[in-house]
Amino acid sequence: MLLAETRASPDSIERRVAFSRRVGVYIPEGEIGEVELAELRSTSYRVGVFGPKKDERDTVSRLAVKIGGVVSLDSPAYEVTVFQGERSYLGITRPSSMRQGWSTRRPRIRAFFHPSAIFPKLSRALVNFSGVQEGEVFLDPFCGTGSLLIEASVIGVEPVGMDLARKMVRGAKRNAAQLGQEWLGIVRSDARRFPLRRADAIATDVPYGRASSTGGRDTSSILSELIANAGDVLPRGRRLVVMHPESLPLDPGGLFRAEQEHRFYVHHKLTRAITVLRRE
């Protein structure tokens, strides 16, 4: 569980988050107000307990009596979770809000498939790491089948894609058409020549391995060229997000400052790294 202070509404976070089961508000149990109670009473809810379970039934019954309204165990509009510890908190979440249609955008059921395509939740995470906001321009310089562009479009971002392989560009366009998405643009181009002068954010999965084409160049050179070109189109303070093999670290040089790095094991020959760079 992650608790964070934010000015963003739960609704806006729910529309973007990828690897989470629930998003909601958390308040001290004794401080639940009439606004929250009225909302719960106007629809249906269920109560659960996270923590010591020795008095779970009493806790659930007491809270249900306090709230009133309609309890639904099968399909509630809200879930009220009691987090027990030194101090008890309530989490109020909406189970249905997390259904974002991930399965409908799986690589294998798209109009065009390639084994290098990454899954929707990981694609969304890369887009989110870039910090791009609704209506801003997002660039993926190695877009492949369009995985990141698809997720950027879903959250209201203006995606631009480019790829060296004509087959990939055509396939990505087919995927956009299948999903009814209108991207800002997708072109066949070498990543050494970006097709636009400015982008608000860049995120990409650089080509490596047998399933990807590098155009005859080694991945280290591709990473160096990517950072140099990204520095030309990103304003100061904006982010470049790169997924790459852990064995090939990024050198941000003087253009960027490394903010985050996340690693995850794929198989015994590959651990991926996601590096988040901020333009200086």
Per-residue pLDDT of 50-70, as tens digits, reads: 877 667 888 899 999 999 999
Pairing outcome for strands 239-245 and 270-279: antiparallel
pLDDT digits (tens, 9 = 90+) for 150-180: 999 999 999 999 999 999 999 999 999 999 9
Q: How far is it, in rounded angstroms, from Cα 86 to Cα 51?
A: 11
Task: Specify the CATH number for 102-279; select among 3.20.20.140, 3.40.50.150, 3.10.50.40, 3.20.20.120.
Answer: 3.40.50.150
Averaged pLDDT for residues 183-199: 91
Q: How far is it, in rounded angstroms, from Cα 34 to Cα 62?
A: 17
Task: Specify the CATH number for 10-98; select among 3.40.190, 3.30.2300, 1.20.1070, 3.30.420.
Answer: 3.30.2300
| Domain edges within the chain | 10-98, 102-279
The pLDDT assigned to 212 comes to: 57
Averaged pLDDT for residues 34-49: 94
